[in-house]
Structure 1
Amino acid sequence: MDSDVTVTIADIRAAREVLSKVIRPTPLKFNRALSERVGADVFLKCENLQRAGSFKIRGAYTRMSRLSPQERAAGVVAASAGNHAQGVALAAQMLGIASKVYMPVRAPMPKLAATRAYGAEVEQVGETLDESLVAARAWADETGAILIHPFDHADIVAGQGTCGWEILDQCPDVRTVLVGLGGGGLLAGIATVMRALKPDVHVIGVQAEQAAAYPDSLAAGHPVQAARMATMADGIAVGLPGDVTFPIVRDLVDEVVTVSEASLSRAALFLLERAKLVVEPAGAAATAYLLDRAAGDGPPLEGPVVTVLSGGNIDPLLMLRIIRHGMTAAGRYLQFSVVVPDSPGNLAQLLTDCASVDANVLDVEHLRTSAEIRVDQVEIGLVLETRGPEHQSRVLEALRAKGYVLLGTDQPL
């Protein structure tokens, strides 16, 4: 069912005035490497450099600044996987409002620590944002605290829309804007600005395919619960579009697309290496689509293109895994096993053969207990550093030519 709540350009203009003394416009950085791949000028809107590490402070502060004195006295409650939590906690601290935030039990430790550091009381409930949101609603009903929804409120959408206005200030001739999509607050706000001030801009929302509620919802004409929620992009892992955001996305956004987990990790690694920017998987979703599009056969995007890096709050341990995953997806790690006679010199010969094709050995594991090998054999597992898919193919072909039988997954991870 469509909401009767609307968000106008006047609402976003008012939010901009409210936020002018609270946040700073984030940089819009030209990226040559992406531009060369895409065939058009590409700019990165660096919301990962915003206060509290994401765009979320825009909506949270706008919403909370409009509370009455009585509502402020009652305190606020929120549910979040991390970025909205920090935005709410920081906004509450600045406005002198008590805050409580429910976060999933597997929320990243740095996001938990940062939320508490801003003064919020944190309670971990449920495996997903949707489960945490149920607990937050119950607390609001029980105590009278004001629920600060992560995306489904007109003030939240208006606040997030200020990011779109900044894009037009910084790149007036923009032709395509790509935005990561979870619940839809940021995308709805940016699309509202574009349609009002520059209606010919092509607006694309990008979801993680393992947590994509919008494609089925748009096809059905109403919000539909996502069938699965299994993505590293916790910041956009939202199972059900909102009543406020859904009709805006449906009516104002040109396309909603999805990207794989491999694409997300490749994009985060690309931004780290080629843009020198730390971006969490959710924040890299729009860039992931750009890289996929550049590698595919579809028509080029019309430039200038702006891709929004929505957040940079990432657990260092997750960053390590993403770097490994991204390098694997990019063809720079190769894992396989071979069986050789269990006698002196065979391991050394295998390593020499790998070196002869310029493959750097990162890890070696001996397996002597497998039922698939004889007692006089040993299975050797290798992880190699390679220079891309073509180099991986040459390595595998060279080893097979020398008589090695590759076991298990003899293709890239």
Structure 2
Amino acid sequence: MQETRLDLARIRAARRVIDPLFLDTPLYRCEALEPGLGCAVSIKLETANPVRSFKARGTEVVASLLADNGSQAVVCASAGNLGQALAWSGRGRGLDVTVVASRFATAAKLDRIRALDARLELVDGDHEMARDRAAAIARRDGIRLVEDSLDLETCEGAATIGLELMDSAPSFDTVLIALGGGALATGVGHVVKAMAPEAEVICVQPLGAPAMTHSWRQRRVVTTGRTDTIADGVAARCPIPAVLDDLLLVADDAVLVQEASIIAGMRLLLDYAGLVVEPSAALGIAAILEDRDRFAGRHVVTIVCGSNVDVEAYHHWVGAAPVRRSSTRGS
């Protein structure tokens, strides 16, 4: 494999500074899902932790390095999950954390950022506007700007999930990874391709937020003017060139899925796995639903990456009635 920015030795070292609360997360075969999907499905569950997403694996590495270097403050832009994670990791290491987010971000995520003692600044635009504002704060105050996916700590922290897949999973054919900024996809993808190159790495993005997928397909950065998806955690418009370069080396495919499939995936994870997840976490299941023939008879691992979802929105999308068993069977 050609060289990415990531390094296996640093990824292994990252495990030593990440709080054990975020490590060795459940990985299990979910047989109840399989009749409706037509393939063997294993779930890597990244929601059973204090911030209910995988993001703290990266922020633990960032915060540890900052604290060791005597830094006192840090800022990031976030759709919600990174902000929670950085607030949690920073609070534990005595860092003053500022999070910039869109005021249209999920209310539950914003409330949790505040509850973790971070300073929250809201902008009247999308995540890209929040990124610009966070960068301005970093310049003004002379503090570290954490840029998710660009900063290697965020990618290599996420990559520890890949180490756990390699250590714990029986042989699998495919790993399905939610694709937004790219930290999760490049991190896990790097480890999988380094240690099990025959396994297929497929990234999944909503049709309404396709910038990174278009970029991967065209092998150049493609930006979009807007996003339109319920999967706010992956709703990026402006891919980072260095991250795309890494993704081109580790991803075998990048696919787009419809909103209806994301919702159906959330329903299936509730009804057959007992999991309440945010839309981004259902992207892997959505990909199987949209192309059952591709995955038929294969062993697929999907990373359930977050469960920070507004309760009212969740009920609106998923509803209260269970999915009928017959409705999930493949055609």
Offset of 1:50 from its aligned partner? 3.1
**Structure-1 separation of matches of 2:123 and 2:223:** 20
2:221 is matched with 223
CA contact (8 A) 1:31 1:44 kept: yes
Identity among equivalent pairs (%) = 32
Indicate which of 191, 194, 197 corresponds to 1:196.
Answer: 194
| Structure 2 residue aligned with 1:314 | 309
Please state how far the C-alpha of 1:257 moved relative to its aligned partner. Answer: 0.1
1:246 corresponds to: 244
Question: Using the alignment, how far apart are the partners of 1:120 and 1:175 within structure 2?
Answer: 41
Distance 1:17 1:70 in 2: 17
Kindly indicate whether the alpha-carbon contact (under 8 Å) linking 2:107 and 2:310 is maintained by their aligned counterparts in 1: yes
SS of the residue aligned with 1:159? helix
Which of 271, 279, 298 is matched with 1:303 structurally? 298
**In 1: Cα distance, 2:50 partner to 2:163 partner:** 18
Q: What amino acid does structure 2 have at the position aligned with 1:15?
A: A
Given residue 198 of structure 2, which amino acid in structure 1 is its aligned partner?
A: D
Where 1:107 maps in the other structure, the secondary structure is coil
**1:222 positional shift:** 2.0
Report the Cα distance in structure 2 between the residues aligned to 1:226 and 1:64, rounded to whole angstroms.
32
Residues 69/49 of structure 1: CA separation in 2 closer, same or farther (3 Å cut): closer
Aligned-partner residue type, residue 142 of structure 2 = G
Q: Which amino acid aligns with 1:308?
A: I
Q: Note the C-alpha offset of 1:11.
A: 1.7
Larger-gyration structure (1/2): 1
Question: CA shift at 1:302, angstroms?
Answer: 5.8
1:98 maps to 96
Which structure exhibits the higher relative contact order, with contacts defined as CA atoms closer than 8 Å and separated by 6 or more residues?
Answer: 2
TM-aligned CA deviation for residue 303 of structure 1: 3.0
Is the contact made by 2:21 and 2:49 (CA closer than 8 Å) also made in structure 1? no
Q: Give distance in 2, aligned partners of 1:306 and 1:99.
A: 34
- What amino acid is the match of 1:253? A
Q: Quick one: structure 1 residues 388 and 17, their matched pair in 2 at CA, closer, same or farther if it must change by over 3 Å?
A: closer
**Alignment partners' CA distance in 2, 1:106 and 1:169:** 39
How much does 1:311 deviate?
A: 0.3
Unmatched tracts of structure 2, length 5 or more: none
Q: CA RMSD in A?
A: 2.2
Amino acid at match of 2:18: L
1:180–1:301 Cα change, 3 Å: farther
Instruction: Kindly state the Cα deviation for residue 66 of structure 1 after the two structures are TM-superposed.
Output: 1.5
Partner in structure 2 of residue 356 of structure 1? none
Quote the offset at 1:60 in angstroms.
Answer: 1.1
Q: Deviations over 1:97-131 (max 9, x none)?
A: 01000011111221111111111000111331111
Counterpart secondary structure, 1:211: coil
- Kindly state the Cα deviation for residue 143 of structure 1 after the two structures are TM-superposed: 0.4
Kept after mapping to 2: 8 A contact 1:175/1:302: no
Single out whichever of 210-219 and 313-322 deviates more from structure 2: 210-219
Pair 1:17 & 2:16 matched: yes
Q: 2:4 touches 2:249 (CA, 8 Å); kept in 1?
A: no
Query: Given the alignment, which residue of 107, 110, 135 partners 2:108?
Result: 110
Contact 1:63-1:156 at 8 Å conserved across structures: yes
Spell out, residue by residue over 1:66-107, the C-alpha distance to the aligned partner (whole angstroms, 9 max, x if none): 22655622x000111110010110010111101000011111
Contact 2:201 2:253 in 1 (8 A): yes
CA contact (8 A) 1:48 1:283 kept: no
Question: Residue 317 of structure 1: CA displacement?
Answer: 1.0
- What amino acid sits opposite 1:313 in the alignment? N
> What is the identity, as a one-letter code, of the residue corresponding to 1:23?
F
Instruction: Measure the CA separation in 2 of the matches of 1:52 and 1:217.
Output: 30
Match of 1:63 in 2: 62
Query: In structure 2, do the counterparts of structure 1 residues 35 and 126 end up closer, same or farther at CA, with 3 Å as the change threshold?
Result: same
Gaps of 5+ in 1: 333-386, 390-413
Distance in 2 between the 1:171 and 1:157 partners? 21
